Each structure stands twice: as C-alpha cells, then as structure tokens.
Structure 1
Amino acid sequence: MSLYRLNRLFNPSSGRLLDVAVDHGFFGEQSFIAGIEDMQSVVDTLVEAGPDAVQLTLGQAKYLQRVPGKSKPALVMRTDIANVYGNPLDAMLYSHHLPDAIEQAVRLDAAAVCVNLIQLPGHPEVREANIRSIMALRTEATRYEMPLMIEPLVMQNNSTAGGYQVDGDIDKITTLVRQAVELGADLIKADPSTDISEYGRVIEVAGDIPVLVRGGGRVDDRTLLERTVAVLGAGASGIVYGRNIVQHEHPAAITAALLAILHDGADVDTALAMVTGAAA
C-alpha cells in the first residue's frame, strides 16, 4: 500500500475522509441511476462542492480526471460488478472484477480502488466470488502500491426486504469486517449498525485499518448528520455517502455540512443550519 496515494485521500488537518460514491450505474438497476442520469453535471457539481474523493467506475472516471487543476477530489475507482440488488433476484447470480482493474486505476491516476465483500443470505457463491476477486486484486494492488478498499456488505434477504437493504446486525457486520481485514484491506467501507452506539465494536475488530462508514439508503438530513457525528465519535476515519448526497435537493449544501462535521468539528445543529440555509 502506498502512503503517497492515501495522503491524497485524507484531509491533512482532520485525518478524515468524505468519499462520494457515484458508481451505482455499474450494477444495472434502473432505480440506482435516479438523480445521476447526467454524469457530467453530477461530477461538475461534486467538484465544485469539494469532497475529499469521488468514487466512480472505469467508464465514468473521465468526468473527474479531465478536470484541470490540483484541487479537485481524488478518484476512488470501483473495480467489481454484481447482480445482487434486484427484487426478485436473477436466476443466476454473478460478481466479477475487471481483470486489469489495478492497471486501469493507475492509468486513471486513482488514489484507491474499491471492491465488494457481500454476505447475501442463501447465496454463499457470491461471497466466494468476492473473495476470489479480492485475492486477485490484492496481488496486483501490492505490485502497484494501490490502496485496496474492501466493502463488507451484510445484506438482508431481497425477497423480504427488497434489493440493496443492509442488515444492521452488529455481530454480522463485525464478522465480515474482520474477514476483510484478514484478506488484506487497506481501507474498510462498512455498513452502519442498527444500534449506532455499538459501532465501536466495528472499529475495534478493524484494528489499525481505517473504517469509512457507508451511507446506505436515503434518510432525512438530521438522521444523516446525527449518524455521521456518532460514527466519528466511535472512531471511524470517514464516510462514503452516495444517494444521500447526489439525490439530495441541495447536494453542494449537504456536502458542505458533512465536511464541516468531518474537518471542522461542527455539531449537528450547525451543520443542519448550513443545509436549511441553502433551501431558504
């Protein structure tokens, strides 16, 4: 792992990271592209808002990386694609990583790559495919000193909860996070737990590997900001939010509010006022 690349991700003052995930179109689900149909416009808005990083796919990274100047967000490149989010699930499930993902990430000047580690009830073959991808990517990431972000994703049964619904069971989350660490993660992108007061357990099992907390499905602004303060208080090193930013009515304002919490220590009410002020 190259510390040089990680230095481009984390804010030098706070040591924390806001990564905005806009890789949802990779998974072939129609509902995932709501609000991100025009990727040029989405990326332009994010560059102006100034998060620490933006998570994109091989095909969409160009919109970020062709922006001139030194101050734009760093690129985190998504490396794998799966069909596990539909309801009902397809008859045949798959998960594949780009065979030359690390070389492509180097060419695109990415600061890190991201790969899933999915636990889907009744489908251990998906987790096996993820583990194979992680092992292959770990070898190449080491060769090129590319930080590897593993995303342990504990999912509920799609037939009862719908696609992309996470299971907030802290025991399941900590077990999968620990497996990601054992597989050689440089960064962990983890689910939030249902009881956020227990989140210190996730930080503990990750050891010295930075934990970034996923945003999950859309929630109201206060809930999002309160959760952010809570996971940072538990020891998380940052957040990776997608739809709660790009599908927000005021994406620049919610980004500014989150950055204020992460890097300036703002409280929930101060950050919320930044969002409501933009709506006024």
Structure 2
Amino acid sequence: MSKPRLNRLFNARSGRAFDVAVDHGAFHEYNFLTGIEDMAKTVATLVDAGPDAVQLTLGQAPLLQAFPGKQKPGLVLRTDIANVYGDPLEMPLHSIHVPDAIEVAVRLDAVAVCVNLLDLPGEPQVREQCIRSILALRTDAEKYGMPLMIEPLVMQTKPGSGGYGVDGDTAKVITLVRQARELGADLIKADPTDDITEYHRVIQAAGDTPLLVRGGGRVDDRTLLERTQAVLEQGARGIVYGRNVIQHHDPAGITAALMAVVHDDASVDDALALIGAPADGDRA
C-alpha cells in the first residue's frame, strides 16, 4: 500500500474499505440494470450513505465527482468492458480495456482503477486478453501512481444454460488470485469461496496485497452480513458489493449495516437493526 491514493480508500481507524460497485451497465446485460435505472439518483443515494468508495465507469464517474466537498466516497474507476455475463452468450467473447484509462482516472481524481482477470472454461483467449490489458494498464498505473485493482473471476458454465456463473472452488480461486498477485496488483477483488471457512487460504495467496471480497449475486441480509464477518475475521481488508446494495429495498440501511461490520466489528444482529423494513411492493 505504498501509493498515496490508497489513503483515501482505506478507513484510518479500521484499515478496511467498503466499495460499492455500480459499474454494471458496462457489461451489456439487461438484468444488471435493476435498481440503477436512474444513475444520478443512485449515486446521490450512495453519497448520502457514505461508503468508502463507489466503483463507476468512464461515462458515469462524473456523477460522483460533481459532488462538492472532500467527504464524499472515493472513485474506483472501471477500466474494461466485457460480454461474458449474457445468457445466452454472444460470440465472440471479449474483454477490452480503455487505452487511456489511467490518464482518465487521474483527471477524474480516482483512488484506484479496476480491471478483470477472467478465467472462463473453454475460452482461454479471454484470459489472454485480460492479461494483456493488465500489463498495459500496469505501465501507466506505475507512471502516474494510480493503484491497480485486479478482479480475478473464476467462472463455470451454468447447468442447462448458455451462460456463466461464479465458480467458488477454493483451489481455482486461489490459483487466479495468486496470478493477480504475480501480475503486480495493488489491490485484489476476489469472489468468496463455496466453503467460506477456507477463505484464509485465498488471503494467503494474495500475500501482502490487500484483498477485498466481491459480493456477487443477491443473497438475504443475514447471509450477506455473516459472510462479510467471516471473511474479515480471516484477514480480508474489505468488501466490494454491488447488487446486494443497489438492488436492496434500503440501500442506505444496508450500507450502514455493512459499514458497521467492516469498520466497527458490529455483530450481525446489531447490523441488521440498522436496516429498514421493506415497504409493500419493495424489493426484498
């Protein structure tokens, strides 16, 4: 953590970070847009809720940086576009980075940038594209002092489907996290493992690189908070959650609950008390 920008990402008291990912529109998947149809409203809600950072795309990042004052969440800038989440998939699959992303991130005053490292069964060329992107971004990131967050994602084919889902196999997650570390990540954003008690092995694979745990698909509040507590206890330096916040009936409440667990080591029951009850017709 030698780059000064990271001082604006990690909480000074806890040494941890909570980044809310709202970059889903980049991936050309209609279902990802639920809850973020009005991005200006979404970003305003998150600024009021006060997580440590918000992860946005090139096109949406100015919504966050237009807010005055120095207390707003930091910007984590998504630097690549991929088409690997569709069902059915559209071919050929790709993951392409923005060539001048680091310079754009500097102009936008980002605290870090994020790029995928995808491992898809039967599609090794996509991982090669990701590696080439990481190496290219790494050069400019070092030049400008911009922290590079690598997001290693191990995917598997969904049974009876034409799309991919997350593969939480511990050995596979460890292997890809280790590759992210070898590629020079300043931060790593990784999926939880199917057996969450083994997550300390993923932390070990990251070495001295801070690891933030990805949220993935929607789960109930207690499951989310218990999983968060479990990975933090094993050494994770924070979380990057998206749909579990932005598709929640009370985004501000779930943000407060997660911040309490991440920064104050609150109990799950105490954190749950910070979440408002759903109104009739709200999303669960």
With normalisation by structure 1, the TM-score equals 0.97
Shift of 1:91: 2.2
2:171 paired with 1:171: yes
Instruction: Give the letter for the 1:116 counterpart.
Output: N
Contact 2:152 2:188 in 1 (8 A): yes
**Where does structure 1 lack aligned partners over 5 or more consecutive residues?**
none
SS of equivalent residue, structure 2 residue 274: helix
- 1:122-137 matched pairs, under 5 angstroms: 122-137=122-137
Instruction: Note if 1:181 corresponds to 2:181.
Output: yes
> Partners in 2 of 1:114 and 1:98 — Cα distance?
11
Which residue identity does 1:84 align to in structure 2?
V
Q: 1:152 to 1:40 in 2, by over 3 A?
A: same
Q: Which residue of 2 aligns with 1:56?
A: 56
Match of 1:26 in 2: 26
- Cα separation, 2, equivalents of 1:217 and 1:180: 22
Matched, 1:273 2:252: no
Residue in 2 that maps onto 1:261 = 261
1:163 CA drift (Å): 4.0
Q: Is the 8 A contact 2:76 2:110 kept in 1?
A: yes
Aligned partner of residue 92 in structure 2, secondary structure: coil
Q: 1:49 to 1:162 in 2, by over 3 A?
A: farther
- Report the Cα offset of residue 23 of structure 1: 0.1
Counterparts of 2:203 and 2:2 in 1: how far apart (Å)?
22
Alignment of 1:1-280 (within 5 A): 3-158=3-158, 160=160, 163=163, 165-276=165-276
After superposition, the Cα gap between the structure-2 partners of 1:191 and 1:162, relative to the gap in structure 1 and judged at 3 Å, is farther
CA 1:22–1:7: 2 relative to 1, 3 Å:
same
Aligned residues: 280
Deviations 1:236-262 (A, max 9, x none): 000000000000000000000000011
Provide structure 2 residue ranges, at least 5 long, that are not aligned to the other structure. Answer: none
Q: Structure 2 CA distance, aligned partners of 1:162 and 1:186?
A: 34
Cα distance between partner residues in 1 of 2:73 and 2:192? 24
Alpha-carbon spacing, 1:185–1:161, altered in 2? closer, same or farther (3 Å): farther
Question: What displacement does 1:2 show?
Answer: 5.2
Q: Is the 8 Å Cα contact of residues 250 and 276 (structure 2) preserved in structure 1?
A: no
Are the counterparts in 1 of residues 89 and 162 from structure 2 also a CA contact under 8 Å? no
| Secondary structure of the corresponding residue to residue 44 of structure 1 | helix
Please tell me whether the aligned partners of residues 53 and 75 of structure 2 are also in contact (alpha carbons under 8 angstroms): yes
Partner secondary structure for residue 165 of structure 2: coil
Q: TM-score by structure 2 length?
A: 0.96
SS of the equivalent of 1:76 reads strand
Q: Which amino acid aligns with 1:65?
A: Q
Alpha-carbon separation, structure 2, partners of 1:74 and 1:154: 27
For 1:182 and 1:202, locate their aligned partners in 2 and report how far apart those are by CA, in whole Å. Answer: 14
Residues 142-162 of structure 1, C-alpha deviation per residue, up to 9 Å, x if partnerless?
Answer: 000100000000011156466
Shift of residue 274, structure 1, vs aligned partner: 1.2
Contact 1:250 1:279 in 2 (8 A): no
CA 1:274–1:162 in structure 2 vs 1: closer, same or farther (change >3 Å)? farther
Distance in 2 separating the partners of 1:86 and 1:23: 16
Query: In 2, distance between residues paired with 1:43 and 1:62?
Result: 10
For structure 1, which segment, 161-170 or 171-180, has the greater mean C-alpha deviation from structure 2 after superposition? 161-170
For 1:75 and 1:164, locate their aligned partners in 2 and report how far apart those are by CA, in whole Å: 28
CA distance in structure 2 between the aligned counterparts of 1:160 and 1:109, rounded to whole angstroms? 44
TM-superposed CA distance for 1:51, in Å, is: 0.1
